[in-house]
Structure formats: structure tokens, C-alpha cells
Structure 1
Amino acid sequence: MNPKFKWKLESIFPSDEAWEDEYKKVQELIAQIQTYQGRLNESPQILAECMKTYEQLGLAMERVYVYARMRRDEDNTNTKYQAMTDRAASLSIRVSSALSFLVPEILSMPDERLDSYIADEQLKPYRFYLNEIKRQKEHVLSAQEERIIAQAGELAQAPQTIFGMINNADMTFPAIKDEDGEEVQLTHGRYIQFMESPDRRVRQEAFKAMYDTYGKQKNTIAATLNASVKKDVFYARIRKYPSALAASLDNDNIPVEVYTNLIQAVRDNLPAMHRYVSLRKKLLGVEELHMYDLYVPMVKEVKMQISYDQALELVQKGLAPLGEDYASVLKEAFTSGWIDVYENEGKTSGAYSWGAYGTHPFVLMNYQNNVNNLFTLAHEMGHALHSYYSDKNQRYLDAQYKIFVAEVASTLNESLLMDYMLKNTDDPRQKMYLLNHYLEQFRGTVYRQTMFAEFEKLIHEKVEAGEALTPETLCSLYYDLNIDYYGPDMVVDEDIKMEWARIPHFYNEFYVYQYATGFSAATALSQQILNEGAPAVERYLTFLSSGGSDYPIELLRKAGVDMASPQPVVEALQVFARLLDEMEELAKEIESTK
């Protein structure tokens, strides 16, 4: 592989030996932080010293874990980096256990003393962190109980780990015949390729083979998901929350209404989704639209080949409205070893942005020359530059932005790139193809993720009510939601009732709704940037630079959107409806020229 297409992890550690040195440093810092146990109420100075050590420990541990894991991601068959990753994961559990005294001991102080500590100048850098601890006081247990919970961390990961092994290691899919009649093994990676195939037989065979395979494991996977949900409910109850949903959202100080408002706003706008399904049926020219017809492009004749170099240029042009500073950082990212570009033997699939505080972020890609990968590049660079600006402007403890805002920067980049592409495309078929892509983003990110979010809410409520999550219960709930969301023009195939079994996000409770809220916020902010220019850009760059220094709802409010209201979701779905109007008009124009 040409080195210019590889990331340069040497900017974290110049060598594996340097990683070993940092590993030892973490062990030393574990011993050091424990010397503060039982002493935090002695003086603000002692607490400030402890907090400084806590920062050093967190930062060193982050660097150790990130480097080992990203080295493994380069080649998952490399046993050296498998072992380093395992060692880092075990060390991380030791760190959590060693730190378990910190929060309970801070909260054991009388309120007056804690308030005086927070006001002390020595603790000014940690003020937001300490106030955040105080906010969650009623949900923190004693030091001994917190230590037990920390040590049980590996057990709590069991459902997710077991599902991962079933899903990624043990489950094998049958071969199907591709477009040329050749037998090809179905895999997770090839499934979406098959779903995008213009050959309907291929789509149907892949769809049936995928869900038949999951159907054979339905009892095991239902038991695994049931255990995961029970784990969520257990933690919520032990920490005195009214529900698992409230417990999950409280980490980011998000009102439960944000979650329920999202579901209600999307349900109120299902007629637009049903219109989209109807247009898809018409453009595909099928008598019946099936679930396996959802991913094939509606505009068959257009093939847009976009090389990696072209993608870099298009992303830079598309993101030009974000100003010169953003453009210069983007250029640095493209030329300075931030990105691991192409697929390689043993390399982790998919795409992500990640890194450790104190170095620039990194982006893993498996670039293919198509529109999807162009937008994936823009998406991951959104994450990367969010991290870059946060790290540059915030201390370690305040730099890490919350998951609730994590998808805003990535999706905003996609919105701006799409706006540029649509404005610079004269070919009506290419424009149709791009509109198809954008509408699919809405369908997949707002409608589909909200359907997932509603499913999560329902299954947690059932467990909280003492009901069991049998395979039949899960299949029935999921099937009914598909009928509601896709509407009368969709034949909701029986096979789709097993789709819940292949969604790994369900093992990370109440996570997926943030894709929909993030997409909605990003859509609103991108409209402001395009319409207002400099003032909106300045607000947005301030948002990127704020990291986790305030609550997510407040950060977005300052940027220009109020996610405590359903309005941004409603506005995003109005954009969806307008794009749908445009596509319907283009379809009529193209039809009339035939």
C-alpha cells in the first residue's frame, strides 16, 4: 500500500516500545491516584492535585487503548496487536476500578463544603466537571458499591460481546447466485451490495438468505438481547432512575421529552415517508414494492464513478461555506497522514473517526469509487474536525463532546456537500441520482433510526413491566412498526420481522435516536450557514470548539437550534418533503422527454 494512503499512527507513539512505556506510566498513575483516596475533603488543593492526576491518567489510558486498537484495526489477524488491545482493555478496567472512589468521595462532602471547593480558584479548570457530578448526586452510590459496579463492568459487557461473536464470528450465510449466475458467499459486507443490485432476483435471494439465517438463531439472539435490556433496567433501578430511558438520557442531561418528541414528530410526518415509498414504487416500475427493493437506486441509468482524488476535491469545494480556517484544517487532514484510505487484508471494515487527545484525529476508510464513499468521507471528516477544534480549544476533561451532538458535524458536512453537488449538476438524471441519495439519508437516518428508537423504548418498557422478550414478542413488535413506518404501498415481507436480530446498536441502549436528532440539528444548521453566511459560520465554529464544556442541548441552542423543541425535527422533515417535490417534478420531466 502506498504510504500516502495510510494513516501515520506514529504521531501517537513513535514505536511499540513507546506504547509499552506509556502502559507502565498508566500503572504508576493508578498507584498515584489511589494515594488520594480518603483525603479529598482535606482541602481544595488536595482535590485539585487529585483532579490533575485523574486527567493525566485518563489521557495516558486513552492513548494506550486508541493506539493498540487502531494498530489492530490495520490488520485484525496480527496477534501482536490483538494481545496489545486485550491488555489495554484489561488495564482500562483496572483504571475504572481505581477511580471508583473519586465521585462518591466528592459527593460525600456536605453541600456547603463542596460548593466552596467548586468556587475555589485552584479548581476552576474542573468547575463544569464538578458541577456535573453534583447534578447527578442522587444517582451515585457509596464508594464500595461503585467499586463493585466498576468491577462488574466486564460481566455487563457480556450480552454485547456474545452477540458480537454470534454475529461476526459464528454466523455463516449461504451462497447465492449473483447477477451473472455465479455462486457468491453472502456476508455482512456483501449484503448491502446485493440490496443495491439492479437484478431483483439477487436482492430477493440475499434478503431471504440473510433473514433465514438469523431466524435459525432467533432463540439465542432473543435471549442475548433480553439479557442486555435487563442489564439496562438493573443499572437504572440501582441508580434510582424512573426508567432505563431516563437513566440513559441523564448522562447528557437530555430531557426524556426530546426522545418522545422525536418519535411523535416523525410519526406526524409519516405521510411524507409513505409518499416517498409510493414514488420509489413508481420509479422502479414494480407492481408490488417489497422490503428488498428499498436500497436499489431509483435512477437506474446513472453510474457516478468518483475516485479518491476527485472525492478530496469535491469535499473541499462542498465545505467551502465553512470558511478559510476550516478549509485549511481540512487540507492538512488530507495531506498529513490522518486517513487510512483503502481496503486491505485483515483491515477493519466500514469507516470511523477516532483518536486521542493531544494528537490530531484519524479516519479509517475502505474507499470505493462511488457516491456513498464520497459522502462517507465528508461525514467522517466532520467528526474529525469536530474533535480537532474541541481538543484545540478545551482541556482534556472538557474536550470530549457528548454522543448527542456527535452526529451533528458529520451530517452537516454531508448536507453542505449535497447542496454543492445539486447546484453544480446540470444532468437531470445525475440530479435525480443525488436526490435519491439524499432522500435515502433522510429515510435511513431520521425515519429508520426513529423506528429503531421506538422499538428500543417498547422493549425496555416491556421488561420494566415484568414481561419477557420472547422471539415472538420481538418479531411481532418489529413487524408492526415496519407496517406503520412504510405505509400502504409497501409489501412488508414476513422475513423483515427478524431484522431486529442483526442490529448491533440495540446493545448500546438508547443510542440510535441521536442519529435522527443529530441529522435534524445538522439540517437546520446547514440551512442557516447557506442562508446567513458568516454569522451562522461563526456560531457553528464556536459550537465545534466547545467540545463537552456545556450540556449538549445548550451548545446546540447557542449554535442556533433548540432540540428541546420538536421544531428542528419538523423543519428537517419539511426539507425532506421539498426534496421529494423536486424529485417528483424531475421524474415527470424525464418521463415527458422519453
Structure 2
Amino acid sequence: MDHRLSRNQVPIGETWNLTDLFPTRKAFQSERNALLQKSEELAKLKGKLAANGSSLLRALDQYFDFSARLWRLSAYVSLKQSADSTAPENQADAARVDAANAQIDTTLSFFEDELMNLDAGQWAALVDEEAALQAYQPYIQKLFARKSYRLHPEAEKTIKALSEVLEAPYAIYTRSKLADMPFQSVTDGKGVALPMSFTLYENRYASTSDPILRRNAYESFTQSLDAYKNTFASVYAAEVAKTVAIAKLRGYTSATDYLLQRQLVSETMYNNQLDIIYKELAPHMRRYAKLKRKTLGLKEMKYADLLAPIDHSDPQTTFEESKQAILEALKIMGPEYHDIIKEGFNNRWVDYGDNVGKSTGGFCASPYGIHSYILMTWTGDIRNILTLAHEFGHAGHFMLAQRYQKMANYRPSLFFIEAPSTMNELILAHYLKKYAESDQMKRSVAERLLSTYYHNFVTHLLEGVYQRKVLHLAETGEALTASKLTELFYETLQGFWGDSVQLEERDGLTWMRQPHYYSGLYSYTYSAGLTVATAVAEQIENEGRPAIDRWLSVLKEGGRLTPRQLTEKAHVDILNSDTIRRAVAYVGTLIDELQTTTVK
């Protein structure tokens, strides 16, 4: 039984302020109706978009102003759902907005069709007529890149009309996981009964130093996962089938080609991240697992033990203390960036309380035209502080991008999106280590810094390797059953950990834990972001202010540049395999450091 607080019992200061989006639910409902009406007005532009340069500029400005309003509407219901997926009102509002989005997408599907009908010469002529159109050049270039994969306008309209259905797998997964899945309560090493939930396991029990609680919680966790495996497999299989079908309809060579084209990423960039890290990080992490087993005095290292801290002293801290540490650490980023982070802390951008129905993990939502919103669950350990810094890395990035870019050029590719967030983790970890008052604190920070690499180079990297296998299998026509999906993940774990971890069949159920598979090829991008962040952190250490200023200039570009252009501007050669290898080697040095400082 879950004894956590209900949403209305959480102290207001631990929740985000959604009134910045809409002051009341009535205002939200009015905006939904207004946007449906506005979409009908915009539909009158059909056939007239590119009559001349000035008319196209007006149309683009109106379209993206409308899109920003629609984004904020969608964000409002999504954030409410993430905070409490059990509330019927939140579920109903989300369903209504999903329906509105589908209707609006269908109504306005002509917009991008007409833009894609332009050729480079026509676009250049329109820019000559109206110079302000030049600001939309990056957006138009991305459209032109997808031109050959565009279907007939009526087919595109049909796909838009079905968007609510096509997005159903993610909604079903989320609601099953957060609202329906029950867990047996667990006991700790002292025999005390404790509540159990998806969030509590991921955020607290998986990394507790209490081995009895850790393994009992894993037992409860995997029992519930096993009970839902067929449902989750059906939902995930539907998501994969949808992706494969759309890729084929559009004429892509594969689902992978389709998903990477949307990221403006080559298969070489994608495969290098997966292949190099999976193969070359494994020896380091096997050494880490053996060190952990020996230090913790475990007879055998189980999968449930991998997140257990070597340093049992794991210092606890309050949210307010963490706020001050993050603000001090990020002063090196300069006043403009620092003021954004300060504003976020002081104006309730962060939802960090715990309650029934709250989403697991952490995220930062940044709809254009409003500030960022950060979700996490506060537990008070150093890993938690790094998570908070990570999400504020997204917030700082997106707020700078809003200031300097139109909405059309706001969002960068997924390939780059985790670089600014992991950069903040590295900055904070180095700050905490520098000012640690004891060797024990330094060791604790070093281990938590290593956990940053574990999260991105192991957890999400293995998800990426697994996802690649699933997509390849699906395209051969093989059924993605629960047993097959579990087997594939078990194989992925075995290939990475070897005999350093005593794996069990149930460990293969890990594929059920993450929502990233419902966002295209997302999981592997965590490793890409941290690879870039590692390289830039080294630049900052060697160059100081020039490297920081260069990094800030990259953040201000938003999505105006491609991932390769962004990394080049940051002076990182992402096409060079040695860039990835240097990041992997750095992880090895962190394990070396941990070995030399850990009491034998």
C-alpha cells in the first residue's frame, strides 16, 4: 500500500507555479476554445502563403505565435498529469487537449505542405522581397530536407487526424506505470515496513546503502513489472510498429534512418556513440562493479546492487542548501545565465515534493514564451543535487535560446539537447569537490560524479543499444513479445557486464522502466550530450573565460544550427571517434581515483 501524500497535501513551496501558464482552469479552457477558433482563421491562408514576401512573413509570424500558444496549452495539461496522473480532472483535460491538437493539426496540415512546394529559387526570391524572412532560413532548410519524404497532402492530413491515436502508446504506458501499477510494501534492514512505488524505487531504494531494503525493493519492483510485462510489451510493440510503418510510407530506408533524419544526425554519429562506448567502457565498468562488490562486502554483485553507494556516509542536504551550492557553482557562467537559474529557484519553477501519481525521474519542460518547469522528487543526497543541476542546465539553455531565437529556431536536435544539462552536473561536481571539507566528502562527490557517467554512459547507453536491436528485429517482421523484449535486454546487459555481475532473467525486465523509447531515438543522445560536455568541461578547465563565453554563445543558438554545427562552434569534433574515447578514458580515471581513495 502506498502511504505517500496525495497531491493536495504537498506543501505549496515544493510545487511548481502553474498559474504562470494559466491563472485558472477556466482561463486554460478559454484558451483551448480560442485556439480552435484561431486555427480556423489561419486555415483561410491556404493557397495564399507565398503570394509575396510580406504575406509569407506575416503568415509565418502568425503561425509560430499560434504554435507557441498551443505549446503552452499542451504543456499545462502535461505538467498537471506529471504531477498527479491519478486525478480524473487532469486525465480529462489532457484528453481534451489531445483531441484539440489532432483537430488543429488536421486543419493546418496544409501549412508545411505549401512551404515544401517552394523550391530554393522561389524561397530566395521571396527573401529578396522581404529581408526579415531570412530569420526563418534554418526552419525552411529543415523542411526542404524532408521534402522528398512528404506524402500527398491528403495523406499528411490523415496522419495528422490520427495523431491522438498514434500517440496513445506513450499515454497508456505512462498511466499504467504511474496510476495503476501496485507494489507490495517492503521492509528495511531493521524490519521496518516501508511504502513502495515506481518513484520510490527509482529515486530512493535502488541506491540505498541498506542491502536488505535494496534487494527487497528490487524483488517487489520486478514482481510488479513482471505482472505488467505483456501489457507493456503490446504497447511498446505498437509504438515500434507505428514508427516502422511511417518510415516505410515515407520512403525511408529504415525506421532508424527516419528517426535520425529528424535529428539531423548521420548513422555514423549514431552508431559511433553506441558501438564505442558499449565496447570500450565495459572493461572500466566491470572493474567498477568488482570494486563495489569487494568494498560493500557482498558475496556476489547482483543487478540490484549496481547503484548502491560505496561511500555509506552519503551526506544529506536540504533543498535550500542545494540551491545555494548550485548558485555558487554556476557563477562561473556569468551574470545572464546565473540570473536565470536564480529566478528559477526563487519563483517556483521546480516541483520537488513527493506524492502519489507523480512522474518518476526528472525533466525540464520549456514551452516557448514562458519559463521552464522542472520536475523531480527530492531525497536530499548528492545524486539528487546533481539531478537538480542537470535540469537547470536544460532551463538555462532553453531560456537563453528563447531570448535569442525565434520559436521556429528554438529547439535544438535531440542529439545535442543533453549537453548543456550534463555540463551543469560536471560544473557542480567539480565545485563540490574543490570545496569539500574532508576526504570523505571528496570521495562521496567523486562517486556521485561517476554516477553522472553511469546514468548517461551506462543506463541510457544500454537502452540505446537495446533499442537499436528492437528496431532491427521489428523490420524483419519478428513479433515483439514480452519474452523476446526481456531476452534482448538481458543479452544487452550480459554483453556489457560479463561475469562482473550475477545477472538473472528478471533483470531483463529493465526495458519496462524508461519512457524514452516513446520519444524516437532519445536514449543514445544522453551519451552524445555527455561526450560533448566532457570535452567542453576540459576546455573550461584549460582556457577559463574564453571557453565559457564560447559555450554560452552555443547555447544561445538554440536550434538555429545543426548538431554538427553546434559542436563545431563549441570546438568539439564529434565525428572524431577519439572525442568519444577521451570521454570513456576519463571515466576510467574516475574509477582509478575511487579505487585509490576507498578504504580496503
Corresponding position of 1:209: 220
Q: Distance in 1 between matches of 2:308 and 2:549?
A: 39
Cα distance, 1:417 vs. partner?
A: 0.6
SS in 2 for 1:217: helix
Contact 2:368/2:402 (8 A) holds in 1: yes
Cα distance, 1:164 vs. partner?
A: 2.7
Question: Aligned in 2, Cα 1:367/1:476: closer, same or farther, shift over 3 Å?
Answer: closer
Please list the CA deviations of residues 262-289 of structure 1 after superposition, one character each: whole Å capped at 9, or x if unmatched.
1221113321122111211221122311
Please list the CA deviations of residues 483-534 of structure 1 after superposition, one character each: whole Å capped at 9, or x if unmatched.
1211222111222122223332223331100111111111211221122111
- Summarize the alignment of residues 92-241 of structure 1 with structure 2, pairs less than 5 Å apart: 92-120=101-129, 121-192=131-202, 193-241=204-252
| Selected match of 2:327 from 316, 334, 337 | 316
- Summarize the alignment of residues 61-72 of structure 1 with structure 2, pairs less than 5 Å apart: 61-71=70-80
Q: Match of 2:183, as an amino acid?
A: F
| Selected match of 2:19 from 10, 30, 47 | 10
Corresponding position of 2:5: none
Cα distance, 1:305 vs. partner?
A: 1.7
Corresponding position of 1:437: 448
SS in 1 for 2:369: coil
Q: Distance in 2 between matches of 1:253 and 1:182?
A: 52
Please list the CA deviations of residues 391-424 of structure 1 after superposition, one character each: whole Å capped at 9, or x if unmatched.
1111121122332222111110110110111122
Q: Distance in 1 between matches of 2:33 and 2:220?
A: 49
SS in 1 for 2:418: helix
SS in 1 for 2:367: coil
Question: Aligned in 2, Cα 1:364/1:469: closer, same or farther, shift over 3 Å?
Answer: closer
**What percentage of aligned pairs have identical amino acids?**
26
Contact 2:460/2:527 (8 A) holds in 1: yes
Cα distance, 1:82 vs. partner?
A: 4.2
Residue 430 of structure 2 corresponds to residue 413 of structure 1? no
Q: Match of 2:309, as an amino acid?
A: P
Cα distance, 1:200 vs. partner?
A: 2.5
Contact 2:206/2:304 (8 A) holds in 1: yes
| Selected match of 1:244 from 255, 269, 277 | 255
Q: In angstroms, what is the RMSD of aligned CA positions? A: 2.3
Corresponding position of 1:272: 284
Corresponding position of 1:527: 538
Q: Match of 1:438, as an amino acid?
A: L
Please list the CA deviations of residues 204-233 of structure 1 after superposition, one character each: whole Å capped at 9, or x if unmatched.
232233223323333333232222211111
Corresponding position of 1:23: 32
Corresponding position of 2:382: 371
Q: Match of 1:226, as an amino acid?
A: A
Q: Match of 2:261, as an amino acid?
A: D
| Selected match of 2:47 from 20, 38, 46 | 38
Q: Distance in 1 between matches of 2:213 and 2:534?
A: 35
- In terms of mean alpha carbon deviation, does 340-349 or 99-108 score higher? 340-349
Q: Distance in 2 between matches of 1:48 and 1:400?
A: 20
Corresponding position of 1:395: 406
Cα distance, 1:341 vs. partner?
A: 4.2
Residue 463 of structure 2 corresponds to residue 452 of structure 1? yes
Q: Match of 2:111, as an amino acid?
A: L
SS in 1 for 2:45: coil
- In terms of mean alpha carbon deviation, does 454-463 or 470-479 score higher? 470-479
Question: Aligned in 2, Cα 1:19/1:40: closer, same or farther, shift over 3 Å?
Answer: same
Corresponding position of 1:287: 299
Please list the CA deviations of residues 123-154 of structure 1 after superposition, one character each: whole Å capped at 9, or x if unmatched.
22322111211121111112111101111212
Q: Distance in 2 between matches of 1:125 and 1:248?
A: 26
Question: Aligned in 2, Cα 1:578/1:211: closer, same or farther, shift over 3 Å?
Answer: same
Stretches of structure 2 lacking an aligned partner (at least 5 in a row): 1-9
Q: Distance in 1 between matches of 2:205 and 2:336?
A: 41
Corresponding position of 1:296: 308
SS in 1 for 2:432: helix
Q: Match of 1:260, as an amino acid?
A: N
Question: Aligned in 2, Cα 1:349/1:281: closer, same or farther, shift over 3 Å?
Answer: closer
Q: Match of 2:33, as an amino acid?
A: K
Corresponding position of 1:495: 506
Contact 1:342/1:366 (8 A) holds in 2: yes
Count of residue pairs brought into register by the alignment: 588
Contact 2:352/2:375 (8 A) holds in 1: yes
- The TM-score, its normalising length taken from structure 1, stands at 0.93
Question: Aligned in 2, Cα 1:142/1:40: closer, same or farther, shift over 3 Å?
Answer: farther
Question: Aligned in 2, Cα 1:3/1:167: closer, same or farther, shift over 3 Å?
Answer: closer
Q: Distance in 1 between matches of 2:193 and 2:338?
A: 46
Q: Match of 1:125, as an amino acid?
A: A
| Selected match of 2:64 from 38, 55, 59 | 55
Contact 2:86/2:179 (8 A) holds in 1: no
Stretches of structure 1 lacking an aligned partner (at least 5 in a row): none
SS in 1 for 2:32: helix
Q: Distance in 2 between matches of 1:347 and 1:263?
A: 31
Q: Distance in 1 between matches of 2:347 and 2:58?
A: 36
Question: Aligned in 2, Cα 1:512/1:40: closer, same or farther, shift over 3 Å?
Answer: same
Cα distance, 1:190 vs. partner?
A: 2.4
Q: Match of 2:38, as an amino acid?
A: L
Residue 559 of structure 2 corresponds to residue 548 of structure 1? yes
- In terms of mean alpha carbon deviation, does 549-558 or 473-482 score higher? 473-482
Question: Aligned in 2, Cα 1:326/1:168: closer, same or farther, shift over 3 Å?
Answer: closer
Cα distance, 1:5 vs. partner?
A: 4.8
Please list the CA deviations of residues 418-438 of structure 1 after superposition, one character each: whole Å capped at 9, or x if unmatched.
011112224222222222212
Question: Aligned in 2, Cα 1:458/1:396: closer, same or farther, shift over 3 Å?
Answer: same
Question: Aligned in 2, Cα 1:207/1:242: closer, same or farther, shift over 3 Å?
Answer: same
Cα distance, 1:541 vs. partner?
A: 0.7
Contact 1:283/1:299 (8 A) holds in 2: no
Q: Distance in 2 between matches of 1:515 and 1:398?
A: 22
Cα distance, 1:331 vs. partner?
A: 2.3
- The TM-score, its normalising length taken from structure 2, stands at 0.92
SS in 2 for 1:491: coil
Please list the CA deviations of residues 39-63 of structure 1 after superposition, one character each: whole Å capped at 9, or x if unmatched.
2343333322321221121011122
Cα distance, 1:248 vs. partner?
A: 0.6
Q: Match of 1:255, as an amino acid?
A: S
Q: Match of 2:297, as an amino acid?
A: G
Q: Distance in 2 between matches of 1:84 and 1:469?
A: 32
Corresponding position of 2:6: none
Contact 1:236/1:244 (8 A) holds in 2: yes
- In terms of mean alpha carbon deviation, does 400-409 or 508-517 score higher? 400-409
Q: Distance in 1 between matches of 2:172 and 2:369?
A: 34
